[in-house]
Amino acid sequence: MALGKSEIQDLYRKRARNYDISANLYYLIGFREAMYRRLAVAQLGLQPGDTLVEIGCGTGLNFQYELRELGPTGTLIGVDLTDAMLR
């Protein structure tokens, strides 16, 4: 069953405070999150100067990999439903 907008916001407002820390903890059980993020961004085939919109960007854990590809002339726009994740 799909969650509605307010249910998603409730869920991620609760998770926002510890989101970055808990994402990094996956490393302890062998999940190479940073590597998967890098590989996912590489698959986008971004070029310097491109504009990228990440829908559901959360706290921005992909941004460092995306910005590296976009370079100083590129534009990155992060969009998220949950205010606390963006903060």
Ligand X SMILES: C[S@@+](CC[C@H](N)C(=O)[O-])C[C@H]1O[C@@H](n2cnc3c(N)ncnc32)[C@H](O)[C@@H]1O
Which residues within the stretch 38-67 sit at the binding site for ligand X (CB under 6 A)? 55-58, 61-62
DSSP strands (E only) in the chain: 51-55, 75-79
Helix (H) or strand (E) holding 77: strand 75-79
Q: How far is Cα 11 from Cα 59, in angstroms, rounded to an integer?
A: 14
User: Whose Cβ is closer to ligand X: residue 65's or residue 73's?
Assistant: 65
User: What residue number has its CB nearest to ligand X?
Assistant: 58
- Binding of ligand X by 80 (CB under 6 A): yes
- Interface with ligand X by CB under 6 A: which residues? 8, 12, 55-58, 61-62, 79-82, 85
